[in-house]
Homo-oligomer: A and B are copies of this chain.
Amino acid sequence: MGEPRIGIVTISDRASAGVYADESGPAIEAALRDYLATPCAFETRVVPDEPQHIERALRELAASGCCLVCTTGGTGPAPRDVTPEVIRSVCSKELPGFGEQMRAASLRAGVPTAILSRQTAAILDRTLVVTLPGKPASIRVCLDAVFPAIPYCIDLIGGPRLEGNPAVVAVFRPKAK
């Protein structure tokens, strides 16, 4: 089986064209390495804000066995922001609680424009897909708000058991009924 696999997809016209360096993808990987006690293998992609490119990246990462794919970018209201539409077309079960909590955490952090974010999460076969903001400074705020529930979600969809680093994050698994 090997180590659990995690995918990271940076969705940005400019980063994919080399106009600037991708800072968001590395910020997500750094945060996840910090949260997780279980060693994981990371696979990263940088794609433009084009539905076909985003869809291909999500499908390939899910097919390669990633239990979690985090995207960054493309969740706002601007014309090129299409990440939520692609996720809805590719995935089967949207989990609105992720978007609610990520927006609420950003609002608490003093960002009233957090209500413009269309962040969400959804299931693609045995992969949990979570959309994170495009700004590196906002990524940790959002991940902190939802990470405690991610390992149990991966349990429920048949993925590998991920353990959190209790010094950093309190991963939660409810007791069986």
Binds B, one of A33-41, A52-60, A147-155: A147-155
Other-chain contact of A97, B94, B103, B135 (Cβ < 8 Å): B103
Interchain CB contact under 8 A, B96 and A116: no
Which residues of A81-139 are within 8 A (CB) of B? 81, 84-85, 93-101, 103-104, 107, 111-118, 123, 128, 134-136
Instruction: Establish whether residues B99 and A96, one from each chain, have CB atoms under 8 Å apart when the complex forms.
Output: yes
Does A158 contact B116, Cβ atoms closer than 8 Å?
no
| Contacting residue for A116 out of B111, B113, B135, B156, CB 8 A | B156
Q: Which of A1-9, A62-70, A72-80 contacts B (4 or more CB under 8 A)?
A: A72-80
In the complex, chain B residues whose CB is within 8 Å of the CB of A97: 99, 103, 114-118
Give residues of chain A (153-177) contacting chain B, Cβ–Cβ below 8 Å.
Answer: 153, 156-158, 170, 172-174, 177
Q: How far, in angstroms, from A111 to B112 measured CA to CA in the complex?
A: 23
A118 to B117, CA, bound (A): 18
Return A140 CB to nearest CB of chain B, in Å: 15
User: B118 contacts A172, CB within 8 Å?
Assistant: no
Which residues of A pack against B, CB within 8 Å?
76-79, 81, 84-85, 93-101, 103-104, 107, 111-118, 123, 128, 134-136, 146, 148-149, 152-153, 156-158, 170, 172-174, 177
Task: List 21 contacting pairs A-B, 8 Å CB cutoff, sorted by A.
Answer: A77-B93, A78-B157, A79-B157, A84-B93, A94-B118, A95-B118, A96-B96, A96-B100, A97-B103, A98-B115, A100-B103, A111-B174, A112-B149, A112-B170, A113-B152, A113-B153, A114-B149, A115-B146, A116-B149, A116-B152, A116-B153
